[in-house]
A and B are shown apart, each in its own frame.
Chain A
Amino acid sequence: KCPRVSPVVTLCYCFVSPQIRVKPDNTGVVTDGVKHSMNPFCEIAVEEAVKLKEKKLIKEVVAVSCGPQQSQETIRTALAMGADRGIHVDVSGKDYENLGPLQVSKILAALAKQEDAQLILLGKQAIDDDCNQTGQMTAALLDWPQGTFASEVSLEGDKINLVREIDGGLEHIKINTPAVITADLRLNTPRYATLPNIMKAKKKKIATVKPADLGVDLTSRLEVLKVEEPPQREAGMKVETVEDLVVKLKEAGRV
């Protein structure tokens, strides 16, 4: 008997830029005018959710994103990939700058209860902050089992078989539903959103909620003190002989 779960897939609206620049006041990086799109690991999570729905193992895929107005675009992309409807949690301005994994996981936990979700799928980490915390925190807040760094997911009755990519190799676990799963790179290859699907996605609904409506307090427990660039790479130096090299290394205090 397969579970009729309604998973909630969360998306990160993160920025994708080849050149990161630190703001002049060292409080963060420049995000104005930088192209933002769906976090690649979240794309994999959406793809997995859509695949599960295509196999008729789950009932409905809801795509969620927390951020300013523009993050609705990433929800649209998820809808074009096959999600059924979207929820945009409107967070902007100073609140958005301070938005971190703890706040997002509180939001997701609240939404999961509201939507009666059985499965939450996320990317393992966002490529702009590399925190790798949201999935784990969400599971803890809901007191649900978690399967992180998933490279294979299969549903078996009301349990989930998961293969996790860990440093030592591959770990096979079985967890109960409801559960939180975070997607790793090799879980699948996300599909492209095709034009016809993008058109169909325009008709799908995106509901907007505010964190306050969910009873979530967005105050951050962290204060960013400073952001600075790594030290500039200095020019190298050529030496003629090995003896010279040793002398230079000693001078620099390296040996």
Chain B
Amino acid sequence: MLLGLTGGRLLPSPRRCLLHCRHIKSAATAASGVGDGVLSAFRSICGEDGVSLGEAVREQHGKDESVHRCRPPDVVVFPRCVEEVSALAKVCHKHRLPIIPFGTGTGLEGGVGAVKGGVCFSLRNMEQVLDLHPEDFDVTVEPGVTRKALNAYLRDTGLWFPVDPGADASLCGMAATSASGTNAVRYGTMRENVMNLEVVLADGSIVHTAGKGRRPRKTSAGYNLTNLFVGSEGTLGIITKTTLRLYGIPEAMVSAVCSFPSVQAAVDSTVQTLQAGVPIARIDPEFLDDVMIDACNRFSSLSYPVTPTLFLEFHGSEQSLEEQVKTAEDITQSNGGSDFQWARDTETRNRLWKARHDAWYAALALRPGCKAYSTDVCVPLSRLPQIIVETKEDLIENRLTGPIAGHVGDGNFHCLMVVDPNNPEEMHRVHLFTERLARRALAMDGTCTGEHGVGLGKRALLCEEMGPVGIQVMRSLKDTLDPNSLMNPGKILQREEP
């Protein structure tokens, strides 16, 4: 994830895809992949309103917030409960129709594109929060429940779900992409916070990955099916319920900002603060490089020094916060940090973090009329300064605009590539750059995607990352669970053409 805001906030409606859809079949031939018999079977399952062939609806469900062009499905269905999902899946299975699950369409890797047409299962009508157990810190939700909707529901209980990828994403969708967020350093990613899933497989069978209704805080019962499906991006099954781990809302929060003379100094401070950290600082540092800070200064009329900057947040009780802030301040100073500012109350904190929140827009404002694409590599902490320095040199050498923002505590950073989509030469340069960046990360024992997933664009890189044996194991699992290759074709694994 990206900084607190993604392109999803920039344009609330996904109608942007109209600009990109160049190969849309007209409504008359839309259902060419789906016969009338199948359509009436769908209608008898989810009602007349639950099946749509409309061009606008299909386009809306063929695109997410990435730069990948719109690939609309042949038909969109809107099931209302898991039984309907299962019945629809059985129909698709019988007629060998591809199935593409759709949550909120806020993904960043083209995961919902129907590359082979087929049936999009839009799960937004399944929007119940089920089974909240405040005393056990868990809750079960359906796919239509988004992160913000859940946190609003939980307000009065003093609990929250802290994984925050920026967009107001479907929680089941976040499970499907193994989403992460700015709080991952402290609270973990979806992998650590999903306790159980209800999944509909390609043949319509319904599986509960930890057993139906079970929610123990830990288990060693059998294979870890839950984490098999977390991050499977819809290629192994449709997630229809997820049981999540909740946390207490922090009593108090303090935000701080500090500038550093170099990337190395910023990262060193982070590492040392984390190392000092067991009883005290639990930090969520956000790192903005000098190009980004400059953009933010210009966009938001701020005046941060134009050098690498860390934004930190501390959660805890009133007493522990003072201590944490003092320790962090000492560490940053010993690393050459300056202009350490911190704030306790909401209004001042928001002002301090304004730069970070507006970073996406600030990056776009650097080159009006352009689009933004975010890279997503993640490396071990100790390699972060080196990869950022090398990446910046690469950007300058290739005349690319790419302000950097990162979750320093995780070793994960994003280059916001601001590109002109109508300039094929530039797009090509960006593409090559992102490949070099991914390979640089892989060479440093890292991964090509820390948060966003593989989707359409990183399948080849996944092969390099996992190696042939790893990919073969993944393929065997896929072939076992989805022998007809119906679940979200074209994602994660490259298919050998038959």
Contact = CB atoms under 8 A, between A and B. Distances in A.
Interface of A: 18, 35, 37-38, 73, 77, 80, 189, 192-198
Contacts of A197: 158, 251
Contact of B155 (A18, A189, A192, A195): A192
Contacts of B250: 194
B158 A198 contact: yes
Interface string B248-279: 11110000000000000000000000000000
A195 B158 contact: yes
A198 B153 CA distance: 16
Interface of B: 127, 153, 155-160, 248-251, 317, 346
Nearest to A201: B158
A194 B250 CA distance: 7
A16 to B, nearest CB: 9
B156 A38 contact: yes
Contacts of B317: 196
Contacts of A198: 157-158
A192 B346 contact: no
Contacts of B158: 80, 192-198
Contact of A37 (B156, B159, B251, B346): B156
Given A18-B127, A193-B249, A198-B157, 6 more contacts: A192-B160, A192-B249, A193-B155, A196-B158, A196-B251, A198-B158
Contact of A194 (B127, B153, B251, B346): B251
Most buried by B among A73, A194, A196: A194
A31 B279 CA distance: 47
A194 B251 CA distance: 6
A171 B490 CA distance: 60
Contacts of B155: 37, 192-193
B252 to A, nearest CB: 8
B241 to A, nearest CB: 19
B26 to A, nearest CB: 13
A192 B160 CA distance: 10
A197 B153 CA distance: 18
A77 B155 CA distance: 9
Contacts of B127: 18
A80 B159 CA distance: 13
A121 B249 CA distance: 26
Contacts of A18: 127
A196 B153 CA distance: 19
A189 B349 CA distance: 13
Contacts of A194: 158, 248-251
A73 B134 CA distance: 15
A197 B250 CA distance: 11
A37 B153 CA distance: 9
Contacts of A35: 153
Most buried by A among B159, B249, B251: B249
A80 B158 CA distance: 9
Nearest to A197: B158
A80 B249 CA distance: 13
A81 to B, nearest CB: 10
B135 to A, nearest CB: 11
B55 to A, nearest CB: 12
Contacts of B159: 195
Nearest to A74: B156
A38 B159 CA distance: 17
A80 B251 CA distance: 12
Nearest to B155: A192
A243 B321 CA distance: 70
A234 to B, nearest CB: 14
A219 B402 CA distance: 68
B251 A193 contact: no
A198 B154 CA distance: 13
A37 B159 CA distance: 16
Contacts of A193: 155-156, 158, 249
5 contacts: A38-B156, A195-B249, A196-B248, A198-B157, A198-B158
A198 to B, nearest CB: 4
Contacts of B153: 35
B125 to A, nearest CB: 11
A77 B154 CA distance: 12
Given A18-B127, A189-B346, A73 B156 contact: yes
A137 B275 CA distance: 60
A193 B346 CA distance: 15
Contacts of A196: 158, 248, 251, 317
A198 B156 CA distance: 9
Contacts of B156: 37-38, 73, 77, 80, 193
A195 B346 CA distance: 19
Closest 10 CB pairs of A and B: A195-B158, A195-B248, A198-B158, A77-B156, A194-B249, A192-B249, A194-B251, A194-B158, A193-B158, A196-B251
A77 B317 CA distance: 20
